[in-house]
Structure 1
Amino acid sequence: MHMIIVGCGRVGSTLAIELENQGHQVVVVDRNPAAFRRLGEDFTGRTLVGVGFDRDILTDAGITAESAVMAVTSGDNSNIMIARVARELFGVERVVARIYDPRRAAIYERLGIATVATVAWTSNRILRTILPHDGATDWTDPTSTYQLVERRITGALAGKSVSSTPAHVALINRHGKADIPKSDTLFQEADVVHLLATSEQISSFDAYLAGHEGAHS
């Protein structure tokens, strides 16, 4: 996948190195060229000096609707501007913005933009948001029968009921608020759902999600 990371601080450089190690195409944007030193000599991705919400810079970075964009600069306002430009001008679905003021999270989530607060596991959380089907498991019961995993709902499933899915949806996080769904609860775009299910049921859910995305595209 084509990954664009705006901000080459501790989080941005960690993301860039990890995503490149996973085989993704990575472009890192920062207004300070000295920041790219954090990437190390082994980094083979592209670096661009500039402002991340500049349309020309994003175009130069190769942005398309199929890209993933991570806004992880040191400022909330810059990050939300980057995320909105990527989403609204370029039609990018996989967008995540790092925030320092958690009170803004609900506002950004209503705009359909995933947010990650500034905590110790920021990098890991962003990876799980951008790569929701990477196999990461939040919890496994002692018998290894059931797993708790997180998935993000796209527009293709919006309006579908929770009961229509092949896996148990234990929790829905919508606009920064978590709730236990009922069987007739309808998905909304950008919902973050937590599935409590067997590995087979999770695989079926992923296939169900992919099938609707394909039909929607």
Structure 2
Amino acid sequence: MTEQADRRAEATRLQILQAAAHQFATRPYSRVNLDDILASADVTKGALYFHFRSKHALANAVIEYRAERGWATVEQLRANGLSGLETTIDVSYLIAVSDIGEADARAGLNLLEAVGRFDGLQAKVLDVWVGGFAAFTRRAIGEGDVVDRVDPEHAARLLVSMYLGLRQTSNLDEPETFLRDLESMWLLVLPGFANPEKLDYFVGFIRRRTALAVKNTVPLRANNL
């Protein structure tokens, strides 16, 4: 293929991924069919099958696409000059705001729960999450914001589980409720690992992040679909 043809093919692939994400973001995996995605993407069935051999393959590609985008954004937070624990909190709110308002973010997590575990993709993606949060926690221990008796990987698994559980028990389509629930969970777990002398500061930090997220978040259906 020529360079121009390569660019066209990549543009078509991205067009299909984005159309699929819009479908998977608001409907269960079992209720989305390829005709829905074709109509939304405005491509031929041949073009779709050229890039993705099945709905399952397309779903996995949406998961991987979002995972790559999400952690690229997280990497940018490292340059913000925040501490390890501040960055950990910021990342959790970044994930939540994206989950609320971006189709590919919500689709990626919906699909991770629905189909990701069958090919080991769920474990692969969540291991990256755990690794990232563990690195931030180790840094926070070194900075004196997290007590040194805490195992960074255990703390990271708790935070990942906390967020995934929140998706099941709260409501992404009610952004303020979801974000207030995230705040409540943070305030509940924080005393278990934060330096008691710095607890008041981080409680205030969490509340400020919640207020900022509530102010800036627009629901997915109202904004993107």
Specify which structure has the higher proportion of strand.
1
TM-score with structure 1 setting the length: 0.29
Specify which structure has the higher proportion of helix.
2
Larger radius of gyration between Structure 1 and Structure 2: 2
Higher relative contact order (CA 8 A, sep 6+): 2
TM-score with structure 2 setting the length: 0.29
